[in-house]
Structure 1
């Protein structure tokens, strides 16, 4: 949790640092911190030191995540941007699919410490390659001071939002702690907006939010990830509790969307480079809605081929949506605001994922509790659990339909390298 909170809370700050000091410098520093944090995690003798090392690792990951996407947006011409983002998504999908398998192998034969140690040589190699091949002046460094107060406020606001969201299922949404944190998050967000409007060198360039494509693209991105993350969170419970599938088989099934997402990403990116983002976003969001509806029809007798086909369809739908959506968002920002634009996008995506897990998880849990009511001695049978899953996935389908409507509002541009944001 410490890693995730730091990652989510600092991506905006790292993006802004990249705008101020240069992308390459922050990118290399991010890999250095991530490698150092990984080494410290593997060496940590206590839980406290492990958590501290994960914080260091999270700072590095925030810099890498925010800057990598910004560099793609500004280094490549607009007609290559979608393809590059699709390739990047393919690489991430391979990591997602292979990570659990590789992690299990490493843990079994080498010990858990090596899960962290293997990151060190990878990080060092990335630093060497970045020094060798990345230009030092991708975007000229800007004048201005770093908004430290804004960075602290956004970190605090996100921490007090995401931590109770992640714990709400277990603590209860009406618990005093959860309500206090959510109220504090809202107050901090208001203070942040007031501070940013008054700051001479704000952390967040508020003019970003006057660009329709930037706002619409980020809203669609956050909502589609909300539905996808909630879906992926619920599927293992459906497989194990309703279908009685073994843990090993569940792992293989969950790799299916990642494989098809990996295949669809570059195709979608290339298509969006040539024909634009709008049509592909509309179609893929509609496909996501269909997939969520199909999930809502699953029960204890759904055929295995149907399950695999629906999982593949989910991966294709997300794979077709993400590259054009990212290209739209990053292409709507000026090069000088690329780091902040990337930071905003990734912060909203991470927040959407956690909100999706909380929302769909809570809906499904409510259905489980209703099924278990009156059953004091025996646990509810699989068929009694199905309605909770079905309602949750219907909500996911509704969220995807909202994304379809939002995507209809997208206005195609000439996809030039310089975006729409007016200079300050």
Structure 2
């Protein structure tokens, strides 16, 4: 039966609610566990290495599978896969909370990561489908806000649950909210509306890409402790490079590739993904380095440090939806450029911070960076999803999430190494430890300024490309293969 306009509006609202709840849960579980690790070690008689794998197993599975899941949904339907992901995430959250041993907890966290990969890969896609033909900036802004809220609230909520109950509650709290989201999506999200595809899924490509991304993510994680010259890290990076070459070779030879390489001929898509990686690399530097500056440089308490750091994520979260409305009115790309420019300014200001800056000096600099992030995130997500063809929204949503995850993973290792090296060099000059921390912060944010400066130049390049006149609506869509597997003539206008 045909839905009325009012019924469609109600359905869209409920779909957005379900996707936002799922996005919040999957984001929370990337950060909520860390604060409970000491308690888990004691309660389950776990080693420190096992505690690390409680976090690492989740992130490795998410990073490895997020693109493959996005593509799988395009071929076999988003609703079916999303419901499976919600059910798996909820069930494994319960099993995590009931874990009798550390090894069981690690295994359940890996399966929970599989469910989270589905939620992260498809949330933006199903909301884009629900708002198809409409300005979706405000809706995608809400999803972006949920990502920021999850990261910001994770440590705080984890601490509250840990003090009021036990570490088990950190996982079990997901169950009722997961079931609620599952029910909402089941009732209101329609099934597949475009023509069913007859293509075969590229399982070899998915396996190779998963192993490749897993090698890279594991290398970046181990590099934080062992350094980039470690034989293990170099071996993993070599495996990742070999995996990329094998993946490219495979994708050129299959009828229905996991990742149609033609889409990267679209300059806007390719550059936007690269900018996302750079932006999130820098943001992980902010998240990683500034707590050391506040606690060891300014000598603030852990509570005050946590509160000050959470202000940045809250600023981004609160601005995400209004920024989506701005993107609807003025266009996504100009707002993005302003956001990245503000991040450049904020990083340069942060490179001048001193241990006498105080709360006001720190908050001012952090606010500039996070306002810039808000102006970048939502317009970037909106532009990417609105330009995606219906048959590729799952894939593009997965690529967006992958860019964010790769940036955060790379930033934790790269920016952490830069900071530690700068502090060590400063310490050799005989300065006090707070002064060494200050010098390390200065050097790290000069590097961050250079990275985000490159991102700004790339954003300007996208603006220049988009100013070129187009003669066909197909010119602005993400390229897709024709029946012969080649780009159509229309698609070549926006190709590099």
Q: Could you tell me which residue of structure 2 aligns to residue 404 of structure 1? A: 456
CA distance in 1, matches of 2:348, 2:253: 46
Distance 1:102 1:176, change over 3 A: same
Q: Could you tell me which residue of structure 1 aligns to residue 11 of structure 2? A: none
Q: Could you tell me which residue of structure 2 aligns to residue 312 of structure 1? A: 367
- Larger RCO, structure (CA 8 Å, separation 6 or more): 1
Q: Could you tell me which residue of structure 2 aligns to residue 421 of structure 1? A: 479
The CA deviation at 1:252 is 0.4
Structure 2 counterparts to residues 310-349 of structure 1, below 5 A: 310-349=365-404
The CA deviation at 1:133 is 0.7
The CA deviation at 1:88 is 1.2
CA distance in 2, matches of 1:138, 1:265: 29
Report if aligned partners of 1:288, 1:400 keep a CA contact under 8 Å in 2.
yes
- How many positions carry a matched residue from both structures? 421
Q: Could you tell me which residue of structure 2 aligns to residue 66 of structure 1? A: 121
CA distance in 2, matches of 1:14, 1:269: 26
Q: Could you tell me which residue of structure 2 aligns to residue 283 of structure 1? A: 338
Q: What whole-Å deviation, never above 9, does each CA across 1:160-197 have from its counterpart, x for those lacking one? A: 11111112121121111111111011001100110011
2:446 is the counterpart of 1:394:
yes
2:67 is the counterpart of 1:12:
yes
Structure 2 counterparts to residues 126-205 of structure 1, below 5 A: 126-205=181-260
Gaps in structure 1 of 5+ consecutive residues:
none
CA distance in 1, matches of 2:116, 2:187: 21
The CA deviation at 1:371 is 2.6
The CA deviation at 1:134 is 0.6
CA distance in 1, matches of 2:287, 2:396: 27
Q: Could you tell me which residue of structure 2 aligns to residue 29 of structure 1? A: 84
Q: TM-score, normalised to structure 1's length?
A: 0.95
SS of the aligned residue for 2:354 comes to: coil
Residue from 230, 241, 261 that aligns with 1:206 = 261
CA distance in 1, matches of 2:368, 2:283: 12
2:263 is the counterpart of 1:221:
no
Q: Could you tell me which residue of structure 1 aligns to residue 424 of structure 2? A: 369
Q: What whole-Å deviation, never above 9, does each CA across 1:351-384 have from its counterpart, x for those lacking one? A: 1111112121111111122133377xxx952112
CA distance in 1, matches of 2:231, 2:266: 38
Distance 1:276 1:241, change over 3 A: same
2:97 is the counterpart of 1:42:
yes
SS of the aligned residue for 2:136 comes to: helix
Distance 1:96 1:138, change over 3 A: farther
Moved more, 213-222 or 134-143: 134-143
Q: Could you tell me which residue of structure 1 aligns to residue 485 of structure 2? A: none
2:176 is the counterpart of 1:121:
yes
CA distance in 1, matches of 2:133, 2:364: 34
The CA deviation at 1:136 is 1.1
Moved more, 126-135 or 325-334: 325-334
CA distance in 2, matches of 1:128, 1:33: 14
CA distance in 1, matches of 2:466, 2:193: 26
CA distance in 1, matches of 2:473, 2:154: 36
CA distance in 2, matches of 1:307, 1:374: 26
2:284 is the counterpart of 1:235:
no
